Each structure stands twice: as C-alpha cells, then as structure tokens.
Copies of this chain bind each other. A is one copy, B any other.
Amino acid sequence: MKKIISQATIDRLPLYFRTLRLVEEESINIISSDELGRRLDITPEQIRKDLATFGQFGRKGIGYDVHELKEKIENILGLQNKWRLAIVGVGHLGGALANYVNFASLGFSVAALFDKNKKIVGSEVNNIKVNSIDDIKKIIAKKSVDIGVITVPADEAQNVADLLVAAGVKGIWNFAPTKLTVPPFIPLVNEDLSIGLSALSYHMSQE
C-alpha cells in the first residue's frame, strides 16, 4: 500500500535529496536532523516529521544514515528513472529551461526541443537541436522521451498537449497559463512562476 504524502512534503524532498548527495560527497555517513536543518534552513522538527512519513530512518541521538536516506528519497520521487524531457516552444522560457542546470542534478535530462517557427527549427540551444513540431511523434519515440514540457502560448497549449499524449509521453509539465485536459493516466503538473512571487508579496505585506 502506498502512503499518502502531502504536497508540501513532496516539494521539500528534492531539497533533502540534493543536500544529502552533497553530504555524501563530503564522506559524511550519518547526519542529524539539526545539521540537515542548518544546511537547509528548515527546522529539525519539520525534517523529522517529513522523514517519519515514509518509515523509520533516524536513530535517536545518532542521526540519519546519509546513503540510505538519499536512496529512499530518490526512490520515492522516482528520480532513479532518469526521466528524459522534451520542451515544446523554444521561446524565452523554453530556452531558459533547456539551459537550466538544476534539472541534471536530479537526474533529468533534456532529450529534445520542438518549435513550429521555421526560423529556429534546425538551430541549437545548449547543444540540443530544435526540431519541427511536425516531427514530434517520430522524435519522441526515437529519443525515448518521458515528459513533455509545454512552453507555448496559452492558445496553443491544448493542441501541444494532445500531440504529446499521442506521441506517448508519460507525464506533462505545463507552463502555459491555461487549464489543460489530458487523459487520467497522464500525470500533469501546472507551473505558475507568479505563485512564488505572490508568496513574496504576502510576506512583504506582513510588516
């Protein structure tokens, strides 16, 4: 049986994963929630609560086994799958994502880029060739793409989502400001960059 893990906890797991990997590289085998909290700027109580969600790892007064905990989080997040991304829409945002270094640190890689603009098809971004959207089905199969990333304008996004689903992607990450309809077996995450900014505005208004 799968445990239900809250979205907030899921959102903290990549931070834990990255920090544990750095800690492991420092040849540290055991880490306390205090030290993990200090490195992450998260309270030790929050860390113990998050990690308790998926089993007993810490040993009281000793700490967590760094390697064991890192592997467990990697598995929970499914990062061991080394998912391959295709970005559709190589404008400012698509170009930024094609160059975003943090993906690689979690095992993601950008395998393909697509655009409909003939002027950029054939060019390269971060050493990845931009393909024509007309070839999406063929290239997604050839490059074993798992995740489709949508960075086209809102009015083109549903069409792109349909193409990605038809091409066989297993999940969709949508940056277009619109609600997409996809089959229930295709996980969809909508990203909105202004949410973090609104949270900042909230904190700036609490003085």
Residues of A participating in the B interface, judged by any CB pair closer than 8 Å: 2, 5-8, 10-11, 13-15, 39, 41, 76-79, 81, 83, 91-93, 95-103, 105-106, 108, 146-147, 170-173, 177, 179, 185, 187-189, 191-207
The listed residue with most B CB atoms (<10 A of its CB), out of A171, A200, A207, is A200
A204 to B80, CA, bound (A): 12
A135 to B184, CA, bound (A): 52
> Given A106-B194, A194-B103, are A204 and B93 neighbors across the interface (CB < 8 Å)?
no
Partner of A92, one of B92, B170, B189, B207: B92
8 A-B pairs (CB sep. < 8 Å): A2-B206, A6-B8, A92-B92, A95-B95, A103-B194, A108-B194, A147-B197, A189-B197
CB <8 Å contact, A102 and B177: yes
Partner of A8, one of B8, B77, B177: B8
A76 to B205, CA, bound (A): 8
* Beta-carbon nearest neighbor of A125 in chain B: B92
Residues of B within 8 A of A197 (CB): 103, 106, 108, 147, 173, 189
A189 to B203, CA, bound (A): 9
Partner of A189, one of B5, B103, B189, B199: B199
CB <8 Å contact, B41 and A179: yes
